[in-house]
Structure 1
Amino acid sequence: MNMKQISEHVFQCEFELDLSIRMPIHTWLIKDDEDVYIIDTGIEKFADDLIKAVLSIGTPKAILITHGHHDHIEGAAKLVEKFNIPIYAHQKELIYINGEAPYPKKDELENTGVAHIVQPLTEQTIAYLPIQYYLTSGHSPGHVVYHHEIDRVLLSGDLFITSQEDLYPPIRKFSVDMNENIDSGAIIDEIKPTLICSSHGQSLFYNDQLYKKYVWNYRD
């Protein structure tokens, strides 16, 4: 695991998935005084390293999930057990996280390890933090992104895959509706973050041509 501080209050933890191609998985830690909020948890085998990373910078307070795919939530059970903290995801994700239905385009139920303990994300959940969430459906029905409003860092989950220069769509076979996902990406022109950080890519500085180029290249 590699942890680096990407802004005053945001730390990024990078893990590498053993596939035929290099696939980084990012989770993030948001520090608010001595409190730490965990954005996504990666897969289970990363959990012990993530626990150490959290404790190295503060006191864990909650887990916030971008969506319920296994590489974003599978490690959550260990963290919840270790820290006894709440975990939140968008209401639209709960039916899949709870194993009550498979994600659209999938035959198997998700085995998240945190079925029926994830609470619905609301404005009140993070009202006391300089963080806002936005529903960005398409990759999954309840996918959200998190924006740190002071640091102007957007934690975009699987809304995009990013390079240092461009936006790319997430993997199509794992996405419910690619055009809806691409339309959801317009959020970057609404909030205009300084930095865009995706779960499976490089950090990318925002500019007002990024989304225009992305739509032109990828929307049907």
Structure 2
Amino acid sequence: MKVIKVSPNIYKIETWFMFKMSAWIVTVEDGVYIVDTGMSFMGKKILEEAEKLGNLKAILLTHGHSDHVGGLKKILEIKNVPVFSHEADIKYMEGKEPFPGRKKAQSLVQPGVVQPLEITNGNLQDIDDLTPIHTPGHSPGHVVYYHKKDQVLISGDLFTSKNGQLRKPMAMFTSNMDEAIKSSYVIEDLKPNIVSICHGNDVKEPYKQMKNYLATYS
């Protein structure tokens, strides 16, 4: 696994397991956050890298698929911290129902481990320097995290990328592709300098590509 400094406060941890997989570490004034935990074998390394940068405050999830929550158990065995995701994904990762489009339920986390992100006036509440934004489609509770100071959007699986170009999320793992494409409008709203992508390389000035992206996939 390699660590890439995306921006002054954001680090991306990448590895390969059939395809590129990533998680993120975000530094704040009084500690760090982990965003996603990758596969099981990634968990311990992600925690080690996070604790080089500061005290771990919490784990934030973009969504509940196994390649994003797989390292969670190993991290929590070492460090007892709160874990948050959008409430819409919690029942699926707890194995109460299959994710939409899947035939079988998967018990990926123990009930009660993951708490819902807080909502204020209809919007997800900021967590230090990160603004969570609900971007459903890849999963019902998919969330991106925007770092306004660094102008970076941690996009989870909202996109993939190839040769510096935005691509749609992986179809076989996406619950509702039409909804996922609609959620991509977050790029036009925020105009981040960088969109950081789990299964691909990061893309600079992604808002310049949105007209072509929407024309291709809408």
Query: What secondary structure, in the 3-state scheme, does the structure 2 residue paired with 1:52 have?
Result: helix
Q: C-alpha displacement at 1:90, in angstroms? A: 0.1
Aligned mates of 2:94, 2:54 — CA distance in 1: 30
Q: C-alpha displacement at 1:111, in angstroms? A: 2.5
TM-score by length of 1: 0.93
Distance 1:53 1:114, change over 3 A: farther
Give % identity. 32
Length, aligned pairs only? 215
Query: What secondary structure, in the 3-state scheme, does the structure 1 residue paired with 2:7 have?
Result: coil
Structure 1 counterpart of 2:3, which letter? M
Query: What secondary structure, in the 3-state scheme, does the structure 1 residue paired with 2:200 have?
Result: coil
Q: Which position in structure 1 is the counterpart of 2:76?
A: 80
Per-residue CA distance 1:89-124 (angstroms, 9 max, x = gap): 001111101111000110111231343210001157
Structure 2 counterpart of 1:41, which letter? T
Q: Which position in structure 2 is the counterpart of 1:39?
A: 35
Q: C-alpha displacement at 1:163, in angstroms? A: 3.2
TM-score by length of 2: 0.93
The question of whether the paired residues in 2 share the 8 Å contact of 1:77 and 1:114 is answered with no
Structure 1 vs Structure 2 CA RMSD:
1.5
Q: C-alpha displacement at 1:128, in angstroms? A: 5.3
* Stretch of structure 1 that moved more, 157-166 or 7-16: 157-166
Q: Which position in structure 2 is the counterpart of 1:132?
A: 131
Query: What secondary structure, in the 3-state scheme, does the structure 2 residue paired with 1:15 have?
Result: strand
Q: Which position in structure 2 is the counterpart of 1:181?
A: 180
Per-residue CA distance 1:64-108 (angstroms, 9 max, x = gap): 000000000011111122110000000111110111100011011
Give unmatched runs, 5+ long, in structure 1.
none
Distance 1:128 1:207, change over 3 A: closer
Aligned mates of 2:126, 2:210 — CA distance in 1: 29
Matched, 1:92 2:88: yes
Query: What secondary structure, in the 3-state scheme, does the structure 2 residue paired with 1:16 have?
Result: strand
* Stretch of structure 1 that moved more, 112-121 or 26-35: 112-121
Aligned mates of 2:127, 2:145 — CA distance in 1: 14
Give unmatched runs, 5+ long, in structure 2.
none
Distance 1:127 1:177, change over 3 A: closer
Q: Which position in structure 1 is the counterpart of 2:4?
A: 4
Aligned mates of 1:120, 1:157 — CA distance in 2: 17
Query: What secondary structure, in the 3-state scheme, does the structure 2 residue paired with 1:132 have?
Result: strand
Q: Which position in structure 1 is the counterpart of 2:192?
A: 193
Query: What secondary structure, in the 3-state scheme, does the structure 2 residue paired with 1:209 have?
Result: helix
* Stretch of structure 1 that moved more, 122-131 or 159-168: 122-131
Aligned mates of 2:162, 2:173 — CA distance in 1: 20
Q: Which runs of structure 1 show a deviation greater than 6 angstroms over 4 or more consecutive aligned residues?
A: none
* Stretch of structure 1 that moved more, 124-133 or 149-158: 124-133
Query: What secondary structure, in the 3-state scheme, does the structure 2 residue paired with 1:6 have?
Result: strand
Aligned mates of 1:206, 1:157 — CA distance in 2: 17
The question of whether the paired residues in 1 share the 8 Å contact of 2:86 and 2:141 is answered with yes
Distance 1:26 1:210, change over 3 A: same
Structure 2 counterpart of 1:133, which letter? P
After superposition, where does 1:133-152 map in structure 2 within 5 Å? 133-152=132-151
Distance 1:128 1:46, change over 3 A: closer
Distance 1:36 1:114, change over 3 A: farther
